[in-house]
Amino acid sequence: MKIVLQKVSQASVTVNNEIISKINKGYMLLVGISTEDTLDDVNKLSNKVLSLRIFENPENSEDFWKLNIKQIEHGQILSVSQFTLLARTKKGTKPDFHMAAKGHVAIELYNHFLNNLRKELGEGNVKDGQFGAMMSCGLTNEGPVTILLDSKN
């Protein structure tokens, strides 16, 4: 399982020219589920996302890396399933997506991931895109802070 985590001041997902999800301060996540992933991978990375200390102390904006998403006021997550994170590009010029989990498997693990996040942050503070749809993602990256997470590393 791979995640691209970005600290954002706002993020949104658009499908067919309509904004379907939108958040303010928090994380934009791009989540890739591989053929090798299990519930252990999902639990490991959902815990990591929730516990990473990426936010500054609100009493001292120069006091970085102190708080996690659960500790900040109004912290939200916008998560988007993205099988292309599993692309192999070693050979040729066309990406190989064979390491990405098939849709029916990926959606089950992805929904478990979202449920883990919602248990900790609350239902309304975790939004997602539309699984399997062509989406346009917009965000304002703060920092910029972008972190790559991999359940196998």
The answer to whether residue 28 scores a pLDDT higher than 90 is yes
The answer to whether residue 23 scores a pLDDT higher than 90 is yes
Q: Is the pTM higher than 0.75? A: yes
- Buried b / exposed e over 83-103, threshold 16 CB at 10 Å, is bebbeeeeeeeeeeeebbbee
User: What's the rounded Cα separation, in Å, for the pair 21 and 127?
Assistant: 6
Q: How do residues 122-143 score in pLDDT, each as one tens digit?
A: 999 999 999 888 899 999 999 9
Residue 49's closest CA among 38, 41, 61? Answer: 41
pLDDT of residue 25: 96
pLDDT bucket at 63, cuts 50 / 70 / 90: confident
Tell me the catalytic residues.
Answer: 82-84
Residue 129's closest CA among 69, 77, 74? Answer: 77
